[in-house]
Amino acid sequence: MSNEIEKLKKEYLEYLEIERGSSLKTIENYDRYLSRFLSFAKIGTPKEITDSLVREFRLFLNRQTSGNNRATGDTLKKKTQNYYLIALRSFLKYFAKRRIESLPPECIELAKIPERSLDLISSKELERLLAAPEGNDEKALRDRAILQLFFSTGLRVSELCSLTRDIDFSADEFSIRGKGNKVRVVFISDDARKEIREYLKVRKDMDDALFVKVGDEKAKTEKEALARRSIERIVKYYAIKAGISKKVTPHVIRHCFATDLLSNGADIRSVQMMLGHSNIATTQIYTHVTDKQLREVHKKFHSKK
């Protein structure tokens, strides 16, 4: 294979990092998606990317089984297939920007996928989850603060991991740099602020991170700050402790944050800004589960004799 297209892929990934400000995780994913396409295509130049080649690649993806599905024989989900196509389309847009001859990016159409469903827990289950960390030791105080902060702000888990003790928690808002390197303001409830203050009072370490490992957790790694997987495990542990049978993740609490706002009358544009969604269509998935007016109409008029 000629090095031309590999060289362009490397330059494109550098462009994502430097000019677009994409996260390292996004760049890693795009690298993986494009490498799989180039491995399949066995081409050397952008000019060789054609409609028929993309169609063959889509058929190839549609017939692949993922690591989790090999036992059942299930093929890659349409949503996963679309990740490859999005990366390829973005690569083609980069060619167009540099006036490099190749397939026009608008020729890449994404597979249709079913409307996204939300993983939600009830308000009663949420209450039990937030109250699940019991006691006043450092671990319980930390975990209560984590859960309250998630629900108060709607932060993504990566955003929560990035927080430091420099934040002024006497105020009811702070700025966070989120997905796509975009900065937004998030608001913190009195309950969350109280739990964070109580937790910080018992901290004896000098680590800058807001949430750090305690006790036996420290022995497993040199790093003190809690990582994404650690926080996901904390949420899962307390969900089980609270008697919640559904799978609960930090993102489920983010869903609860959004639906709570909308069901109490917040407008969708404001919720979009608080969640940090670049596209309002992403936020609209919450509206069908929060429309009180429709619920009242159904209650009033359905099955009336």
Active site members: 156, 179, 251, 254, 277, 286
DSSP 107: G
Task: Calculate the alpha carbon distances from 225 to 76, 139, 218, 298 in Å.
Answer: 35, 13, 9, 49
Q: For residue 89, what is the enclosing H or E element? A: helix 78-97
Number of neighbours of residue 132 by Cβ within 10 angstroms = 20
Alpha helices in 154-291 (DSSP H): 157-161, 190-202, 228-241, 250-263, 268-275, 280-283
What is the rounded distance in angstroms from the CA atom of residue 229 to the CA atom of residue 173? 26
The tokens 């009072």 sit on which residue? 201
Residue among 215, 210, 245, 246 nearest 231 (CA): 210
Q: Is 253 exposed, middle or buried (0-12, 13-18, 19+ CB in 10 A)?
A: buried
What is the rounded distance in angstroms from the CA atom of residue 160 to the CA atom of residue 149? 8
Phi, then psi, of 277 in degrees rounded to 5? -80, 130
